[in-house]
Amino acid sequence: MTESHLLGNYNRFPVEFTSGEGVWLTDSRGNRYLDFLSGIAVNGFGTGHPEITAAVLKQLNGVWHTSNLFESAGQKELASVLASKSGLEKVFFCNSGTEANEAAIKFARKWGQGRYHIITAQGGFHGRTMGSLSASGQPKLWNGFFPLVYGFTSVQFGSVEAIRAAITSETVAVMLEPIQGENGILLPPAGYLKAVREVCDEFNLLLILDEVQSGMGRTGKWFAFQHEELKPDILTLAKGIANGFPLGAVICTEPVGACIKPGDHGSTFGGNPVAVAAALAVSTLLTEDILDGNLALGEYLRSELASADLPEIAEIRGLGLMTGIQLKPGTSARALASSLLEQGIVTGTSGDSVLRLLPPFLITRTEIDLFVSQLAAVFEASESRGVAV
Ligand SMILES: Cc1ncc(COP(=O)(O)O)c(C=O)c1O
């Protein structure tokens, strides 16, 4: 193999997937794999979905790009779907999760008319560009990149009191993930988001919810916040919105949207017609049946994992098809994901000690059973060899 000129910023597994169908992927050597990752919560409708592919092909035969200097019927249609599903009003399209969060931060500052301070959560993850990175409450991600963007304070995730204590006269917003995806699929206590909403109302702060990972049906609702009775002021999306085409979105209330005037923000590629065509196909496929299925399948997965009673597992947590398996000390998530890959199962990790499961929505109970038995087999093989996974 020739020496790679790719930057060494990813720790890649030595496998390349070259084709796939539904929840199955095939690598360049012809090996088949069961997909329990969906390209990190992206391909909810799996690989090669005929309706999404048809929508994309149709658009590829039309225009690929015209820029945001001109009208876009597709963007209008998708914005109307996202507004009606979220209960919010205005939509801005970009290309990724970090960009959606950058825009959300700018929108909040514009709305705040001088107030700029945003309270975030420790362990939170909002992206890698400087604003989103500064909003991410994970100091290990900051090393080497100081100074951060000024004006963020991260407080304990799950504590409403910690938010209250961090509010100053400069505070404009609270920015959170309803479920911390990059922090081990961590769920806050029940009622937390609603209580945060109340604090935001009390102090005239915006509530920004980052549903880049938890949104677009993954938890069994269009958006994870809909498991509680509340609405954010700003909602950010990306990942699953277009099943693998780069697209991000910021959805906000009318008053927040009204602050943004021509020239305040923009993106050359944001809302690209091909990505929007894919997203419109996704939105049609995301039916109540699929949403209910995601909730039930996730519960089935976690209950089967619990029944398997695997000694290496400390905790199993999640909602819908977002599941984190907290491993006991001595078991490395990376080594486990690597062993599972050798056995034909694609999984992810979150930190050093959490195996992250984000299967496509098309997964069946039989495939979940297969995953659980393979996981048990990998643990058993490592015990019998006397080596830790
Ligand atoms: C909650 C959350 N926000 C933002 C991002 C960043 O998204 P992107 O990688 O598309 O920039 C991610 C990515 O993992 C995420 O999980």
**pLDDT tens-digit profile of 272-305?**
999 999 999 999 999 999 999 999 999 999 999 9
Sorted by sequence, the CB contacts under 8 Å of residue 23 that are 6+ apart come out as: 34, 35, 46, 359, 360, 362, 363, 364, 367
Contact by Cβ (8 Å): 108, 117: no
Residue 145 known to be catalytic: no
Contact by Cβ (8 Å): 52, 243: yes
Mean pLDDT of the chain: 97
Residue 210 known to be catalytic: yes
Q: What is the pLDDT of residue 114?
A: 98
Contact by Cβ (8 Å): 222, 85: yes
Q: What is the pLDDT of residue 345?
A: 98
Question: If you average pLDDT over residues 363-388, what whole number do you get?
Answer: 91
Residue 388 pLDDT > 90, yes or no?
A: no
CATH class given for the domain over 17-48+287-385: alpha beta
Residue 139 pLDDT > 90, yes or no?
A: yes
Contact by Cβ (8 Å): 171, 118: yes
Residue 2 pLDDT > 80, yes or no?
A: no
Question: Which of 85, 90, 221, 239 is labelled catalytic?
Answer: 239
pTM summary value = 0.98
The residues of the chain that CATH labels 3.90.1150.10 are: 17-48+287-385
Question: If you average pLDDT over residues 71-76, what whole number do you get?
Answer: 98
Q: Which regions of the chain does DSSP assign to beta strands (E)?
A: 17-21, 24-27, 32-35, 90-94, 117-121, 152-155, 171-176, 206-210, 234-237, 248-252, 313-319, 322-327, 345-346, 348-349, 354-357
- The pLDDT-based confidence of 354 (bands split at 50, 70, 90) is very high
- The pLDDT-based confidence of 307 (bands split at 50, 70, 90) is very high
CA–CA distance, 64 with 305 (Å, rounded to integer) = 44
Residue 194 known to be catalytic: no
127 CA closest ligand 1 atom index: 6
Question: If you average pLDDT over residues 343-348, what whole number do you get?
Answer: 98
- The pLDDT-based confidence of 146 (bands split at 50, 70, 90) is very high
CA–CA distance, 182 with 138 (Å, rounded to integer) = 10
213 CA closest ligand 1 atom index: 16
Question: If you average pLDDT over residues 40-54, what whole number do you get?
Answer: 98
CA–CA distance, 186 with 377 (Å, rounded to integer) = 26
99 CA closest ligand 1 atom index: 11
| pLDDT above 70 coverage of the chain, percent | 99
Question: If you average pLDDT over residues 251-260, what whole number do you get?
Answer: 98
- The pLDDT-based confidence of 383 (bands split at 50, 70, 90) is confident
Nearest CA to ligand 1 atom 9: 97
Cis peptide before 147 (omega within 30 of 0): yes
Q: What is the pLDDT of residue 232?
A: 98
The residues of the chain that CATH labels 3.40.640.10 are: 52-285
Q: How many residues make up the chain in this entry?
A: 389
- The pLDDT-based confidence of 213 (bands split at 50, 70, 90) is very high
Q: What is the pLDDT of residue 1?
A: 53
Question: If you average pLDDT over residues 352-368, what whole number do you get?
Answer: 98
Residue 183: name the closest of 11, 353, 12, 375 by CA: 353
The first and second tokens of residue 373, run together, are: 């038995």
**Residue ranges lining ligand 1, Cβ < 6 Å:** 96-98, 101, 125-127, 177, 181-182, 210, 212-213, 238
The helix/strand/coil state of 209 is strand
The rounded Å distance from CA 309 to ligand 1 centre is 32
The first and second tokens of residue 256, run together, are: 């927040």
Contact by Cβ (8 Å): 33, 346: yes
Question: Which of 35, 36, 85, 210 is labelled catalytic?
Answer: 210
- The pLDDT-based confidence of 11 (bands split at 50, 70, 90) is very high
The helix/strand/coil state of 56 is helix
Q: What is the pLDDT of residue 3?
A: 77
How many CA atoms does the CB half-sphere of 191 hold within 13 Å?
1
Q: What is the pLDDT of residue 385?
A: 72
The rounded Å distance from CA 29 to ligand 1 centre is 31
Number of C-beta neighbours around residue 258 at 10 A: 13
CATH of domain 52-285: 3.40.640.10
Pick the more confident residue, 137 or 2: 137
